[in-house]
Each structure stands twice: as structure tokens, then as C-alpha cells.
Amino acid sequence: MKITKDQVSHVADLARLTINEQEQELFTKQLNDILMYMDMLNSVDTTNVEPMTHAMEGTEAFREDVVRSSLPLDAVLANAPDDDGASFKVPKIIE
């Protein structure tokens, strides 16, 4: 076993996902299969290989520091579940 049911439940919790008992079992098994496959890949000797973090290496992709117009406020708030005409309105999250 590479990952336990408790770990799966913890990660689901962090990701704000509600999963039932059966799903916990199912995802634990599926994640284990994936992690076992990673183990198989790990058997390849990569001693002198730099880890790849991106498909395009060594590319410079900069933007110059020049202001561009922002969105109009009505467009900014268009998809908000709730707003006061200026800010997004959310349930209070601090004591």
C-alpha cells in the first residue's frame, strides 16, 4: 500500500471534497494503482537527469511592466454569486 484510506480522506478534506465510504475505498485503490505505476517508473536509473518540471525548458517568456486596461467593474462582478456593487460578498470566515 502506498496510500491509506485516512490519507485519501485528509486530501479530500483539504480539497473541500465530500466523499462517502465507498468512494474512499475506490479512490484509495485507484490512487494506489497510480502510485505503484510511479514506482515502476522509479526503477529507471535517472541519476544524472535533471528533473523536468516543464515541457518547455529555457524559454524566456516575459512581459514588459506596462499597464493595460483592467476589466469594467460590471464584468468583474458579473459571475459573482453575491456582491454589493463594488466588492464580492462572501460568508464571514474569521471569528
Q: Which stretch binds another protein (CB under 8 A): 19-27, 32-40, 41-49, 54-62?
A: 54-62
Q: Which stretch binds another protein (CB under 8 A): 11-19, 24-32, 41-49?
A: 11-19
Residue 67 per-residue DSSP state: -
Told to check if 87 binds another protein by CB under 8 A, we report yes
Told to check if 77 binds another protein by CB under 8 A, we report yes
Dist CA 8 CA 14 (whole Å): 10
Q: Is the separation of the CB atoms in 8 and 31 below 8 Å?
A: yes
Options 39, 48, 62, 81; binder of another protein; rule CB under 8 A: 62
Residue closer to another protein, measured from CB, 22 or 63: 63
**Which cell numbers hold the place of 71?**
476589466
SS3 at position 83: strand
Look-up of cell digits 467593474: 73
Told to check if 18 binds another protein by CB under 8 A, we report no
Dist CA 40 CA 1 (whole Å): 14
Contact set with another protein (CB under 8 A): 10-11, 14, 16, 53-54, 56-68, 70-71, 73, 76-77, 84, 86-95
